[in-house]
Each structure stands twice: as structure tokens, then as C-alpha cells.
Chains A and B, each alone.
Chain A
């Protein structure tokens, strides 16, 4: 009996899925209320107008909605790539590098074969080499982990810097015009190797490809033997070994897949969006996607929502800076508060919080 403690925390059991989502929704709303209070006290702006401006910035015009979608898809793709690695408890911090390698490989195809092949073949080739390059960048740390049990967090992180160096080297090599330290828009006249517009929209193909990958990854993780092996290795390597699973093989195979998907997002970044390659091609999204993957608990469909939310906050930030002269710092605070509440809500989903009282127990929710 711990009759002295005022607060009693216990693991929750039997929370129905919609209850969990209710808690999440409540925390999102609460985060927005706190942000609104912050906005009002600091700037005396009407928070409703600020939120309306954020919405306008992200979805106000058709073009904006598509740009938001494009960026959300990019983030989603990387998150989907990270999911299998994280499920295996393999801390792949190297998405940034895997994206860059995929991007470089794609750019190389577009630059060197731009005039030689038809556009569809270029796209196919770009996709292929980007997947290979990303996979390679994933396999290297996995191999060292499997073989010599190196620390994959540091290893994948360091692989990023190698990728950045390689990208810098290639940018210097492919500079156009020379001395500009940028590759310029690749094939800007012919648009060879660019994603074609579908249904009159530039970014439809990005959406189709990424959603297809998200569905496939969901099925792979949830319903295949390999997916099961990943979660067993993630839970306990010893259990996996006892069950006759080759941990080494699972490690390397899973990281190849993880790297390949991240590399593929490099392909999307180059062929489907930026049409250039620079060290900013990944732009920190390899790290942001970690939040996407974790908050969604590796459920690729939930990732769609998280990715959209993050990109919405980013685009909204641009708009409130423009409209109300609220700079970066203000929107960072708003983003921080909302993420804090969302992450915090997981605690209330996992645990039951009760205050001790003599007569009755009062339940406290987020």
C-alpha cells in the first residue's frame, strides 16, 4: 500500500483505439489553445486570424495546397523508409545521407543520359539508381553492426557527412554555370527526366508513388514473414535467435530496404520537385521524418496525418511571417507547443493517472 503518494500512475489497459485518438485530438486542441494564448499575450494578435492565415498559407490556393501535399509526401516517404529500421530498434539517423545519395544518383542519370534516353526511361533509371544508392548507404552501417556490433546511431550519422561531402564534390563538378556553386535546374529546357504532369497537376505522380510505397510498407510490416521477423528482432534479439531467425540477415536486409526507400525519396526530390541537387536537397527532412515515424508508431497511414501536420505548420509559419511579421521564432514556439502536447498525449494514452483521495478517485485526462 502506497497510501502516502498523492499521485498514482499505472499502465493503462483496454483503451479502445478511438479513445486513444480522442486523447490525441484533445491534446492537439489544447496545444492550439495554449499557442493561441501565447500568440495573444506576446503579440496581441487575434489568434483565430493567425490560425486562419496559417491555413491560408498551407491550403489557400490550389498551388499552395499542392506544394503542401508535395512536401508532406516527401516527408511521408522518408518516414515510411525509417519505419522498418526503427521497428527493428535500429536507430537509423542516416536518412539525410540516404536521401542525398539517392538524389545524387538521380541527378547523375538526368545529367549524363538526359539527351540519350526518352524521359520515361530516365525516370525508371533514376528510380533504380536512387534505390541502389540509398540501399548501399543503409547496408554499410548495418553490415558493420551485424559484423562487429558497431553503434548504428553514430555510424548512420557519420554516413550523413560522407554523403554531404560527396554531394558537395558533385555540385562542384556539375556546377552550372561555373562558379555559381549550384547545379542549376537540370534539363530545364527539355524537362527530360522530370515527373510528368498528370491530370494537369505537377505533383500528382509524387502522391501516387509515395502512397503506393506507404501501402506496400504497411502490408510488408504487418502481414509478411519478414515484417514479423523485424518486430521480433526489435523486441529481443535473443528471442529472435532462439526462434531461429538470422539476426544479421534481418539487420542487413531491413536496412537495405530502409535506405532504399529513403534513397527513393531523393529521387522524388530531384525528379519530382527541385529538379536540382544541392546539400539542401534533404534539408533536414531526414531528421524531421524521425518524428513522423515515431509519432505514428510506424503505422504508415498515421504517418500521413503527422507529415501533413508538420508541413502545415511549416507553410503556416511562412504565411504568418509574411502577413503579421511574426518571424521564425514565433512559429517555432507554436510548432514546439503543439508537438509537445502531441508527444505528451502518448503518456496519457499509455498510463492512467489518478490522484489519491479518500472518498473517490478522480480521473484526470489530458
Chain B
């Protein structure tokens, strides 16, 4: 029953999102509109230092140790606590917390048990985190991957997001190297090319949100930095975690001729499907996310993009231990060690991949390579020159915050959560309005 319900829900979401997705491209600009300004960040609070042994932490997760997404957060938090000398038993876990008032209950329960810090790890938790944050002003709440902290202006509500797009770009380079090798060896068939002679790759996305768009665009640009003639199809599942849905999305993409499949959804569905196809004789590979997908796709997974959340958890907890407030938004990438890819699958990656990856990672870390360099992509045939990132009035149009500076789309600088939502040429969304 639950499965059927979930399936229908997913279907419904497609329709619902399709219904509202269309308004995104409407021109902005109302003459009477008042001039809007970037929301200002709240004043840093005066905090008392806390001894690591006294620091009590609440961790509200949407899943548990069976979900790669949660594992990334849990590992990050646990290793941060180890580094800082916070005893492991000081963490109160709330597993499998749905994005309902249960999340609020979980936050409040942690606060009542004396937690000074409470993390919620899913985007949809944030409205409930916010409600708890209003009630417990002395507790610092972290709505991880959330985006409302800046707009709400509560001093005790924080957001954080890694530069996942950097990991995706690097994993795209790995895929690109493989694709180049496949083309050179003449391994691709006609079905793997579109009518213009571009090689086809695919991407299983969760929702048509900026977070996903930013990620798949970075992956695609990574591939294209190696193989010029490539196009990508994106199939949405409208769920963050849907083993079956992600598997069938991957199957759909492969049947369209996509020869490398990447993903932004949390299960092992897509890599498992690609592994199965590989075993059945198809010449297909995949790039995973969050989990080292070699475990489920030993012959097909080239690598997997990953976040190292320990960097942020360490930073945030260290700050509170020192009695320093942290910024509302935090975002970091390769330069700070917050992003990585899982080890390459040496048996199947193209020759020279490791060297290329090292080179690209170094270039991203020192800033000489910008993932969203506007000269490398076009939107409707033109290189974009302006994009307002922050939507203040909820009309899907950015109102403030110019994101394109010096010809580069500056992702995650105006706020931590991704806002790159341009649909660039070369990528086709198969099932979004």
C-alpha cells in the first residue's frame, strides 16, 4: 500500500510541479514594484563558550544508516565530534523523521533534553526547524541544505551547503574521459548518437529544483570539457529516494541510447539498473552520488560524486565551542576539502583519468577553473550575462543578488543553497514542464 501510494504521489508531483514550472520564464518587471534589497544578515549573537564534553547535539535525519544521503551527514557529524572531543553519547539521533510536524516534535524533544545545537538534514524539514527555532532562541538550529535562513533573519537558524556542483563537475570529467575512450574505440552505435552526431548521456534527477539543475549542469559541463559533441537527457523521479523509480528512470534513459548515466537522487536504483544492463551486454556506465556505487555496480560505476560534510560540522561545532556565532549561510568546496569524488574504478575508467582528475581538482581548488564559466555554455544560443539569484516575493523570478560577475556564474556565494536554475543548451529535461 505504501509503495503504491508513493508511486501515485510521485506521479502527482510531476503534474503539480509541471503545472507551476511553466511560470518560471515569465518576464519580471512591474513598474510599481518597490525597490527590493538583499536581506541583511542578522547581527552575530554573543555566545558563551561551551566545553566539548558539555556540548549536546540533536541530529534529526530524514532516513537512517541505510540511506546514503543520511550516512554522508552522520559520518560528517560523527567525525567532527571525534575531532573536537565531543563524546559520541552526546549526540541524540532522531532517525526516519518525516518532513511533517514530526520534525518539529523531534527538534523540540532534542531541545528539551538540553541540546544546545540541533541539526536537521533534509530540505523539507526546514519549516518545522524554523518553528522550533522561534520557540527556542537559545538553541542554535541548523537547517542543513535549507535556503530560508537568510530570508527569515532569525539569529539562531543557519543554513549550509557544500559546493556539490564542484564534485559533479569532476565526476563529469571522469565520465567525459570514458566517453572519449568509447568514441575513439568505436564502441558506440548509431543509437548512442542524436541526429546531429552528438553522443548521448543521461541523468536521473530527483526534482526540477535549482539544487538538481545546478548539479546536472555541472556534471554536463564536466563531460563537455572533454567531449565537445555531447547532449544529455534528464529524467526526473520526483522523489529523493525511490529505488524502483530511479532504476526505471535509468532504464528509460538507456533505452534512449544514453551510454553514461549519472544521478541526483539518493538510492542505489540507477547504478543497480546500469549494472544489470551492463551484465546483459549493454555498453553502459554510470556515475553515482553520495555512496561509493562500486558496491552495487562493480563493473559499471566509474566513480561517485560526494560531499564531505565533516568540514562544516567541524567548523560549526568548533565555533560554538569557542563561543563564536556562525554565519547564516555557509558554503565551501574543494578549496576547503568539503567536496570530493569517491575512488575511481581503476578497472574501467579511461587511461589517464586519475591524472586529469588531479589536474581539474587542483584547478578548482585554486580558483583557476570556474565550473560555471559563462563562456562555456549558452542559454537559448546566447552566453548569459545577468541572473538575479534571490527571489524575495515568491514569483519564481530573482529580485536581488546578481549572480553573474566577470563572466562567471557565482554559485552558492549569495546564499549557501544552490540557485543555478538556467536551462542551458545541450540538456533536455524529459519530464518537467
Contact = CB atoms under 8 A, between A and B. Distances in A.
Contact of A287 (B1, B13, B130): B1
B8 A164 contact: yes
B154 to A, nearest CB: 12
B94 A168 contact: no
A165 to B, nearest CB: 5
Contacts of B210: 179
3 interchain residue pairs of minimum CB distance: A178-B394, A168-B16, A274-B101
A168 B15 contact: yes
A67 B106 CA distance: 10
Contacts, number: 109
B12 A283 contact: no
A281 B100 contact: yes
Contacts of B9: 164, 168, 279
Nearest to B131: A185
B179 interface: no
B100 A181 contact: no
B46 interface: no
A322 B16 contact: no
Main secondary structure of the interface of B (DSSP, over half): helix
Contact of A328 (B64, B99, B395, B396): B64
Contacts of A275: 101, 131
B93 interface: yes
Nearest to B207: A181
Contacts of A327: 64-66, 95-96
Interface size class of B (residues with CB under 8 A): 35 or more
Interface in B88-114: 92-96, 98-101, 105-106, 108-109, 112
Given A165-B15, A175-B394, A283 B127 contact: no
B95 A168 contact: no
A284 B2 contact: yes
Interface residues of A, number: 41
Given A177-B148, A185-B130, A322-B94, A273 B101 contact: yes
A235 interface: no
Contacts of B395: 178
Nearest to B8: A161
Nearest to A66: B105
A318 B95 contact: yes
Contact of B394 (A165, A176, A274): A176
A169 interface: yes
B15 A181 contact: no
14 contacts: A67-B109, A160-B5, A164-B12, A165-B12, A168-B12, A172-B19, A177-B394, A178-B395, A179-B394, A180-B148, A181-B124, A182-B124, A278-B100, A280-B98
Given A165-B15, A172-B19, A327-B96, 11 more contacts: A160-B5, A176-B394, A179-B210, A179-B394, A181-B17, A275-B101, A276-B127, A318-B94, A322-B93, A327-B64, A327-B65
